[in-house]
Amino acid sequence: MTKQWRAERLSQLPPYLFVEIDRRKRQAIEAGKDVINLGIGDPDAATHGFIVDRMANEIRQPANHRYPNGAGVAEFIDAALAFFKRRFGVVLDGGRITALIGSKEGIGHLPLAVVNPGDGVLIPEPGYPVYTAATIFAGGVPHLMPLTAENHWLPDFGAIPADVARHARLMFLNYPNNPTGAVADIEFFETAVQFARDNDMLIAHDAAYTEVFFETTPSSILEIAGAEDCCIEFHSLSKSFNMTGWRSAFAVGNRDAIAALAKVKDNVDSGQFNAIQFASAEALNHTDHVSVRAMSDLYRERRDLAVGELRDMGIEVEKPEASFYVWAKCPEAYPSMETVAKVLDDAAVVVIPGTGFGAGGEGYFRIALTVDTDRMRQAMERMKNIAW
């Protein structure tokens, strides 16, 4: 019998539902259909020209061809700290920040740095699947915090059993939220920080979407007095500057957690390419650049179009105040996967099932506002013709 080279921990991961969607999408394309992909959260616009220009210069510098400093080059770290002070009014020192190779990488490695085998980890559901996967890889025990429309997609800390809270070492939060687009206010963050203090746990706040917003300006959890004692926050340049492929991000917050994460990274990667870090510093130093500011207006236009058209179809949907996702209810009597399959088969449009973000996402689907306005309008017109 041939041995299977597959670790048992992989069997603990939830099923990857997107495999079936990818299969159906390939079939549709092979059949000659013009498929509109509203599934992936990958900006369709190019990285802003002033960032690319800086990269073009830095990539020609021989000094940047060598191993980088794992913690981050000084210019990038300084730019990130200046951005944080300018944007959130929070002053941090260099011992509270580390560069990342994308925030997904940092989030994926954090449980290895702070969670012992058997420790509990509080995870929002529906939520980004990496929270659960990273917990399992570190030997932690996931405990789900249901997010519901009735509670504005915020966890109810009072509903968490006392023994679960006491056992928890880490709690993941994510606002603006993927997949729902919900925004958390300062009062919520104050409650979260107090809950973490009362139960001696670390909060990991995934803040990848704070710079894609409309009516409400998102906050940092580190704006709360004393939050640096129990919080670490992840910031990404991917969505803010159309830099998903560049894999550039940073983590800030609790000094011990930052040091622990950096130690894990020292043993598994050699840091981000210096040229990318210099280009990222250029981005963070110019958050008010006209091309950057224009992106939120573009996403707002697409959001208003999609929400209006979905409502005209009789689909229940909230207008998100931030992120570039729209979280909509499935038509009555259609579960998430059946909804997604029908939209793809009948309209050649890809959307994501709510159950891709955990069982708590059942009854919903997510669309990404990452196609141009004309294609978004075309997708909505096609969906109008679906016979539910």
Q: At what angle do helices 373-384 and 290-312 cross, to 10 degrees?
A: 10
CA 370, CA 379: separation in Å to the nearest integer?
12
Q: Does 178 lie in the same domain as 128?
A: yes
Q: Does 95 lie in the same domain as 197?
A: yes
Q: Which domain holds residue 227?
A: 60-284
Whether residue 230 contacts residue 203, with contact meaning beta carbons closer than 8 Å, is answered with yes
Number of domains forming the structure of the chain: 2
Residue 18's pLDDT is 72
**90 in a domain, yes or no?**
yes
Residue 209's pLDDT is 96
Residue 252's pLDDT is 98
Residue 344's pLDDT is 95
Of 284, 305, 334, the one marking the end of a domain is 284
Strand order in the sheet with 364-368: 325-329, 364-368, 352-353
Task: Say what the pTM is.
Answer: 0.95
Residue 26: give its domain's CATH number. Answer: 3.90.1150.10
Residue 40's pLDDT is 85
Q: Does 333 lie in the same domain as 261?
A: no
Of 259, 284, 309, the one marking the end of a domain is 284
**326 in a domain, yes or no?**
yes
Q: Does 172 lie in the same domain as 312?
A: no
Residue 20's pLDDT is 77
**256 in a domain, yes or no?**
yes
**What sign does the CA torsion over 358, 360, 364, 370 have?**
negative
Residue 184's pLDDT is 97
Residue 1's pLDDT is 55
Residue from 215, 211, 182 nearest 84 by CA: 211
> Which residue numbers in the chain have pLDDT < 50?
none
